[in-house]
């Protein structure tokens, strides 16, 4: 039978959650929005924005206070990612990857020693990255070819990683390599690798369609030396570390997509009240009104799915299917709503003078990273047929 929620639906945010959401919304409007165009042109995040994300506590939302974090919930991470994405999805993915793929992974799987060494820094000044994908290992993530060889004093990694978000700026990388190919995917192991480790380097930075200010890079492991203490989880259990972390990460991507869709819809709602044709604002035409109503309805449904998946994870209940559904549907909605935004702006929507073309480009990645839409359908079907 499919997984069913047993706790009551989330009907409203708590006072603390609402205050946190409003704080992030204010930060996005005040500190991020004025820099969006320049960051897009430069294809890089303004360092001042990243510094401020650390300063206001966005980079360690779920990290316990004992490790310097805010001690919050996954739902609070979702709220932050949504608010940032409504302004700039590139800044949002910095926050999302840090919290859902790096901090979350270390909290669940790392030794006390690794947590003590890295979590306080990740909450204050150290950016992290999650490195699973390879040139020939995308949806077939467990077919990775990066090799980990045991040495008396640690491990040596050989291989390449591709499509690594935060690669240009990160100082810590969670890297997956196979320590025993004879065991198949059960040889995969996770390692905490610092940028300064011997044999590690960052390669090509991708020139992308959307989320252009977010860096996406190749990593090169040429005899990369990793201390034995930097294994994350058990040797050979990296496949579990990877898939369970991605289940949570998909909720974050769902949040990014509802934020992107919301930003486009808000821009369109404002524009249709101003743009006149045939002597009337186009928002007075029923055809336009119905399109906007449909978009708003789908966005609300996607938001509730994303919030529900986060609520289930926070409650310790099964959430794999709900996370896959949330990411799948939120990505579909984001594509539809941002496309509508471009159309309602007409010719102006096709120019960089107005914001909807960027929302449209940023939406596409939601169907690709952290599991393509087809992979989400595959996950959902497996859960249904269990």
DSSP label at residue 35 = G
| Burial degree of 279 (CB within 10 A; 0-12, 13-18, 19+) | exposed
Catalytic residue at 244?
Answer: no
Extract the runs of DSSP E, i.e. beta strands, from the chain.
128-131, 147-151, 154-165, 172-178, 188-194, 200-205, 216-227, 231-232, 276-277, 280-281
Neighbours of 192 (CB within 10 A): 24
* C-alpha of 320 from chain center: 16
Residue pair 116/186 in contact (Cβ under 8 Å)? The answer is no
DSSP label at residue 134 = B
Neighbours of 143 (CB within 10 A): 13
Whole-number CA gyration radius for the chain: 21
Torsions phi, psi for 177 (to 5 deg): -140, 155
Which residue's entry shows tokens 């204050």?
124
DSSP label at residue 137 = B
Residue pair 326/357 in contact (Cβ under 8 Å)? The answer is no
Round to whole Å and give the CA distance between 265 and 333. 11
Round to whole Å and give the CA distance between 89 and 83. 9
Residue pair 62/77 in contact (Cβ under 8 Å)? The answer is yes
Token readout for 163 is 């499509």
Cα dihedral 121, 123, 124, 128 sign: positive
Select which of 40, 83, 357, 370 is catalytic. 370
Helix, strand or coil for residue 204?
strand
Residue 178's DSSP bridge partners are 147, 188
Closest CA to 66 of 122, 109, 119, 108: 119
Round to whole Å and give the CA distance between 192 and 271. 47
Residue numbers annotated as active site = 370
């Amino acid at each position: 039978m499919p997984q069913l929620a047993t706790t009551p639906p989330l009907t409203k945010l708590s006072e603390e959650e609402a205050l946190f959401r409003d704080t992030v919304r204010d930060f996005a409007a005040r500190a991020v929005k004025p820099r969006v165009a320049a960051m897009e042109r430069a294809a890089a995040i303004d360092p001042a924005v990243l510094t401020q994300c650390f300063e206001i506590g966005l980079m360690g939302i779920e990290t316990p206070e004992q490790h310097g974090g805010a001690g919050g919930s996954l739902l609070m991470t979702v709220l932050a990612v949504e608010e940032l994405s409504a302004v700039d999805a590139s800044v949002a993915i910095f926050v999302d990857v840090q919290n859902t793929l790096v901090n979350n992974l270390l909290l669940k799987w790392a030794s006390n020693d690794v947590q003590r060494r890295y979590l306080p820094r990740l909450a204050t000044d150290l950016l992290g990255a999650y490195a699973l994908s390879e040139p020939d290992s995308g949806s077939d993530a467990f077919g990775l070819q990066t090799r980990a060889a045991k040495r008396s004093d640690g491990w040596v990694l050989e291989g390449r990683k591709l499509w690594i978000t935060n690669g240009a700026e990160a100082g810590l990388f969670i890297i997956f390599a196979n320590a025993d190919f004879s065991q198949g995917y059960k040889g995969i192991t996770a390692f905490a690798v610092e940028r300064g480790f011997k044999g590690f380097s960052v390669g090509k930075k991708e020139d992308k369609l959307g989320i252009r200010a977010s860096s996406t890079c190749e990593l090169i492991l040429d005899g990369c030396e990793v201390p034995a203490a930097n294994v994350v989880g058990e040797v050979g259990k990296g496949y579990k570390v990877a898939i369970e972390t991605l289940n949570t990460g998909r909720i974050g991507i769902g949040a990014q997509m509802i934020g992107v869709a919301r930003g486009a819809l808000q821009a369109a709602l404002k524009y249709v009240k101003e743009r006149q044709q045939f002597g009337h604002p186009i928002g007075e035409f029923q055809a336009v009104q119905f399109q906007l109503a449909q978009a708003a309805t789908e966005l609300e449904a996607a938001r509730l799915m994303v919030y529900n998946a986060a609520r289930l994870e926070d409650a310790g209940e099964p959430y794999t299917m709900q996370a896959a559904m949330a990411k799948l549907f939120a990505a579909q909605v984001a594509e539809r709503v941002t496309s509508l935004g471009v159309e309602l702006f007409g010719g102006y929507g096709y120019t960089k003078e107005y914001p909807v073309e960027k929302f449209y480009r940023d939406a596409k990645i939601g169907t690709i990273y952290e599991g393509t839409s087809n992979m989400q359908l595959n996950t959902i079907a497996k859960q249904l047929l269990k």
